[in-house]
Structures are given as C-alpha cells and as structure tokens.
Amino acid sequence: MSHVLDRWSRSFWRLAGRAVDLEGADSWLEAPVSATATVGDGWIDVEAAERGWTVDRGAPEAGLLSSMTALDGPGFDSARLRPAIRDFYEHTASWDMDVWSSWSPVLWPAGELVARLYARRVEQLALPMRPLDVAHGMDSQVTVVRDGAGEQVAAAWVRTLRSNGRHVFSGSYSTRTLPGADRPSVHATFPLETGNVQVFLRPSVTDDGGLRLVSPTGSFGQDGAYVVVREGRAVAARVPLHETLHVYVDDRGVLRTDHELRLGRLSAVRLHYRLERAS
C-alpha cells in the first residue's frame, strides 16, 4: 500500500510539473535525494560520497551556514542582525529548542491524513499534529558537508521528537542565487525517494535586527517551494506552499522564532520556537 501511494505521488507530480535540465539551465534545482523510501538521515553519506565530499559529524559548533555574510547583497546586510541570530545560524548545534504547534482547524484533517499515510512512514516532513507531540521538545543534529578544499557547501539538519525519537525534518541547508536574482536566498532541501521538496527563502533584516525569511508567491525560477522528481527525466513543479519565519530577540533577551506555513492563502500551521544556547 505504501509503495503504491509513493508511485502515485510521483506520477502526479510528473503530470503537474515541467521537464528540467538539472545539469544545465535548471541547475539551481540540483539538490540531494533519497535512494530509499524511508528517508531518515541515510541520504547524507550517500550524497557526500557521490560528490566526493566529506561529512563532519558531531562538531559542537556546527552551523547551518558557515557565515551569515554568505547572504549579503543588495537589500540585505548581515551586520545589522542581532548577534544571537547570527550565532544561531553559524553555530546551530550549540542551541537547544522548545517547540509549540497550532494547526488550522480547516486544514488539520488533511494534515493528519498526510502524516499518517506518508510523512511518518517515510520519516520526512512529519509536522507535529498536536501540541503534546512536541511537549518534551525537539532534538537536532547538524552535520557539516565539506568539499575537497574543506569549505562548507551545505549542512544537514535532522530534527527528531525528544519523546520518541521520530524524525520530523531531515534537510540540507545552504545558500543559492536564483536565476536573475541580485543576491542569494536560503536554500532548504528535504530529500524524498528519487526526488525532493525544495524551499527558497528570501532574507531580510527587520528594524530591530531580527531576521525574516519568506518563500512568497511568484513564477517558476523565483523564491518559493518546489517539488522535484528525478525518476527518468527530471521534472519540477512550483507548489502553493508558502513559509514565513521571523527570528527575533524578545524584550527579555530570549531568541524566538515564529514560523507559519500557508497553503495558498490559507494558514495551515503555526510553529513557535524558543531557542537557548546550551551551557
């Protein structure tokens, strides 16, 4: 039953998407995939081995980005960010997180169906469906992937529920400049069997030194969310899933993140993270 669902899903996206050349004009969509139906974190070593990269596990100061300056460009100056925000992205492994979740009553049934039939089984994009799912917090592991020169090219961020160890997100994080863009975006990839979900988030700095990351509406090739299927000839489709993350320091000096996912114009789920540097 599960394999039938997976094949149907890939067939749907092949019909909904367009052919892409991942080695040519559409190389901005080249990103990790999983070789197996269950994603977990096994894709990290496979991807590194195929590209001749090395995997640096367990580094206590590992970050999603080696430096926030990688995002600098017209309209974004990382020097304006609050120091705690820079520290979180550059030393993510050193931070603990508590999480709260709230689903839209309208979209909760659809989310629960997807979680039961797909997300929990493949151990990917398994959003918490109930507030108590994350009552004990969330653990995270950051694995840095380096090229032959030792430079960080990506970071794998795997998040699991502390209560039962179940995978929630398993993604690759880096920066990437989209075609025609004047500066880089944050690029998050969530591998799936012979494909992936990719989100390009445009960064901006708020007046109080906070960070906003947005995947807006737009056309193919712009910031937003994409599904890529690499079964036979590669195809990609832009999907109406939009994210907004607001990372900020509150009036008590606590680092927090408000995270909203919308399906079209409908708010689907809101997540709130309280972030604290481990002692």
SS3 content of the chain, % helix, strand, coil (to 5): 25, 40, 35
Write out the residue range of the structural domain in which residue 271 sits. Answer: 2-277
Q: What are the contacts of 86-90 at 24+ separation with CB within 8 A? A: 87/277, 88/247, 88/255, 88/275, 89/63, 89/64, 89/65, 90/63, 90/64, 90/65, 90/66
More confident residue, 236 or 148: 236
- Split at pLDDT 50, 70, 90, the class of 3 is low
The enclosing H or E element of 39 equals none
With 60 as the cut, is the pLDDT of residue 94 above it?
Answer: yes
Percent of the chain with pLDDT strictly greater than 70: 99
> Which tokens sit at 35?
């070789």
Closest CA to 215 of 243, 187, 239: 243
The enclosing H or E element of 262 equals strand 255-263
Q: Report the C-alpha gap between 185 and 222 in whole angstroms.
A: 10
* Average pLDDT value for residue range 97-124: 88
Closest CA to 173 of 94, 35, 83, 71: 71
CA atoms within 13 A on the CB side of 177: 10
pLDDT, tens digit, 9 for 90 and up, residues 124-149: 888 888 887 887 778 889 999 999 89
How many domains is the chain partitioned into structurally?
Answer: 1
Point out the least confidently predicted range of 157-166, 205-214, 225-234, 264-273: 157-166
pLDDT, tens digit, 9 for 90 and up, residues 5-57: 788 888 899 999 999 999 999 999 999 999 888 887 889 999 899 999 999 98
- Split at pLDDT 50, 70, 90, the class of 1 is very low
At 2 the pLDDT is 43
pLDDT, tens digit, 9 for 90 and up, residues 56-91: 987 888 999 999 999 999 999 999 999 999 999 999
SS3 for 9? Answer: helix
- Split at pLDDT 50, 70, 90, the class of 213 is very high
Q: Report the C-alpha gap between 277 and 279 in whole angstroms.
A: 6
At 273 the pLDDT is 94
At 132 the pLDDT is 79
At 259 the pLDDT is 97
* Average pLDDT value for residue range 221-226: 97
- Split at pLDDT 50, 70, 90, the class of 243 is very high
User: pTM, whole model, 2 decimals?
Assistant: 0.94
**pLDDT averaged over every residue in the chain:** 92
